[in-house]
Structure 1
Amino acid sequence: MADDVTLLHNPRCSTSRSALETLTDAGVPTEVVRYLSTPLDEEQLRELAAKLEDPVTDLVRRDAAFAALGLTDEDVATVDQVVTVLAEHPKLMQRPVLVRGDRAIIGRPKDRVATFLAD
């Protein structure tokens, strides 16, 4: 069904939990994918990147783990680089990510989720 949403979800993240709550409250059929337990493979990451309305580099979190791996913005500047990094280090994926049909967004800030559902 075109209205179904796939939520790439990390239950430890408050923004991700908020996205799930918004989807539930709206009654939107949702497939929840805990991407840390079930990481996306390279093909799935490429499909996601092709649908993403945000810059693909935004899929990569710039946090302490990113820095600890010695990564820089230059290491995640292209689709190929993002796919490689996220396939090897799924914990670096930004969350939540919502996919609906041929569109995908990063659900940050939280109000983007409701806007995405309304489009």
Structure 2
Amino acid sequence: MSDKILIYQKPGCSKCRATLALLRSSGKEFDAVNYYEAPLTVERLRELIDKLGLPVRDVLRSDEPLAHHLGLAERQLSDDELIRIMVENPDLIQRPIVVRGDEAVLCRPPENVKKFL
């Protein structure tokens, strides 16, 4: 496993801030990617989901108002369609996602990051 830790986050997100604080206090080196400033591609989000080992719908923030507005819970969408919608609307992506090597973890709760520390 590569030693470098990468966190995909939104600065205004409380879970992201808490995960970043845990990373900083650990002394481990890491890079942070604000995926609002450096948007994810369909390919990169698919890769992250694969590393998480989760179904695509588990990475969808289904409680977001936009998800309700788009009727995502009621619609039968393929994984590719959901990923495309999440890339176009980053508020719909669960966060933060922390990656180390070939593994990733969704840090909800933020303490999940301890897997990599």
When normalised by structure 2's length, the TM-score is: 0.87
Amino acid at match of 2:66: A
Q: Residue 68 of structure 1 aligns with which residue?
A: 69
Unaligned runs of 5+ in 2: none
1:31 CA drift (Å): 1.1
Aligned residue runs from structure 1 range 1-119, under 5 A: 2-62=2-62, 63-72=64-73, 74-75=75-76, 78-114=78-114, 116-118=115-117
Alignment RMSD (CA, Å) = 1.9
Identical amino acids, percent of aligned pairs = 36
Unaligned runs of 5+ in 1: none
1:69 CA drift (Å): 2.1
- Give, in whole Å, the separation in 2 of the partners of 1:73 and 1:117: 36
What do residues 69-94 of structure 1 show as CA deviations (whole Å, max 9, x unaligned)?
Answer: 22216556x53233212122112111
Structure 1 stretches of 4+ with a deviation exceeding 2 A read 53-56, 73-76
When normalised by structure 1's length, the TM-score is: 0.85
